[in-house]
Amino acid sequence: MHVAYTPDEVAAIVSPQRSAGHTTEKIRDIASLKSAQPGDLSFLGNPKYRAEVAATHASLVLVPLDYVGEPQPNQLFLFVEKPSVALARLCARIEQSLWPKPPAGVHPSAVIAPTARVSPQATVGPLCVVEDGASVGAGSVLQANVFVGRNASVGEHCWVQPGCIIGSGCELRNRVRLQPGVVIGSDGFGYEFVNGRHEKVPQIGVVIVEDDVEIGANSTLDRARFSRTVVGEGTKIDNLVQVGHNVIIGRHCILCAQVGISGSTTLEDYVVLGGQAGVGGHITLGQGTKAGGQTGIAFDTAPGSYLNGTPAIPYMTERRLQVLHQKLPELFKRVENLEQRPK
């Protein structure tokens, strides 16, 4: 990683409640408990790995407040409330040093329309296009080959990575982060079958992405047929997610890889969808609904629902059915034996 932090510098970042042991090693890398070597930092984020702490060679270990055990010689334990959160804060600092924000300004190869508004404090990278009426706010960074369509808006302190598209009229609010290849404002998938042909329904709405949203690589958010497709404040979207037209996603939702959401569906706040979950159109998932990977949901859900399977059923019911499913061969064999007995 080409970084070096003293133990005191790490402690200043993660703010431990207490410590145990001592090390003279500078921290130069981060590794799992099992693979760590002197000079590495590791952490106990999952209780299942608790036994590995005693054997780790890491010089510094982030451990939870309830951990019981003593460090080895030349090893430091920092006791924090949530080791994973503490590690994330350290990684945020490392990220800033590895990929520092580029200086403000417009690259000579970028094409900026005369009526576009680009803040002097923004960065517009090579081969970017900012069309008429579009705006880019202070502190935002457009990396190489980003397209900002006519009358689109990028707020302040956004980070738009290479190859992203923000379609005409669409809006990123503040501190939005787009990973490479994200498309905001592709046409919604709408057709009417007329006289033996699929006739395209114009998609004239927009997409609004609210503050502090992050969207993973190659995900697509379709513009609304009319009005708006919305992603609420603080929502995090993984790679390869498809959000259909007129979908309304609430605040602080989590959508994992390859989730697909059909048009005109509403996700209330704090919904979590596991990888490859599919959500039908024109339904509402109540606040705090959770769905496991590959769950198929075609109906409204009550707040706090926990679902799994296709079609979706309550999570624990689906788990019990999976156990019973594995017993079916034995059950059929017993029934067959019973049927073969003389009557």
Which of 74, 98, 122 represents a domain boundary (last residue)?
Answer: 98
- The neighbouring-strand residues paired with 50 are none
Is a pLDDT exceeding 90 seen at residue 100? Answer: no
For 196-209, the pLDDT digits (tens) are 999 999 999 999 99
Per-residue pLDDT, averaged over 47-62, amounts to 96
pLDDT digits (tens, 9 = 90+) for 124-146: 999 999 999 999 999 999 999 99
Q: Which domain holds residue 202?
A: 106-318
Same domain as 290, residue 231: yes
Pair 82, 110 in one domain: no
Domain identity same for 154 and 182? yes
205 lies in the same domain as 130: yes
Residues 148 and 267 in one domain: yes
| First-to-last C-alpha distance (Å) of the chain | 76
216 located within any domain: yes
Average the pLDDT over 333-340 and give the result.
Answer: 85
Q: What is the mean pLDDT of residues 316-320?
A: 87
What pLDDT was estimated at residue 338? 84
pLDDT per residue over 247-304, tens digit each?
A: 999 999 999 999 999 999 999 999 999 999 999 999 999 999 999 999 999 999 999 9
Mean pLDDT of 21-41: 96
Residue 29 lies in a domain: yes
Q: Which of 22, 57, 245, 252 is catalytic?
A: 245
Q: Is residue 115 part of a domain?
A: yes
Q: Is 198 a catalytic residue?
A: no
Choose between 315 and 297: higher pLDDT.
297
Q: Bridge-partner residues for 200, per DSSP?
A: 191
The verdict on 161 and 249 lying in the same domain is yes
pLDDT band (50, 70, 90) for residue 333: confident
The domain boundary, picked from 98, 123, 150, lies at: 98
Check residue 282 and give its pLDDT: 98
Q: Provide the domain count of the chain.
A: 2
pLDDT of residue 324: 85
Whether 147 and 283 map to the same domain: the answer is yes
**Residue for token digits 């417009």?**
106
User: Per-residue pLDDT averaged across 179-203, rounded?
Assistant: 97
CATH code assigned at 42: 3.40.1390.10
Beta bridge partners of 148: 130, 166
**Could you tell me the CATH number of the domain that includes residue 205?**
2.160.10.10
Which band of pLDDT confidence, cut at 50, 70 and 90, is reported for residue 1? low
User: Which residues make Cβ contacts (< 8 Å) with residue 231, sequence separation at least 6?
Assistant: 207, 208, 209, 210, 213, 215, 221, 237, 243, 249
pLDDT of 332: 85
Q: Write down the mean pLDDT value for the chain.
A: 96
Residues 74 and 151 in one domain: no
For residue 55, tell me if it sits in a domain: yes
- 83 and 202 share a domain? no
Is residue 169 located within the same domain as residue 286? yes
Contact 74, 23 (CB under 8 A): yes
Note whether residue 339 is domain-resident.
Answer: no
pLDDT at site 337: 86
Highest mean pLDDT among 180-184, 316-320, 321-325: 180-184
My answer on whether 258 and 119 are in the same domain is yes
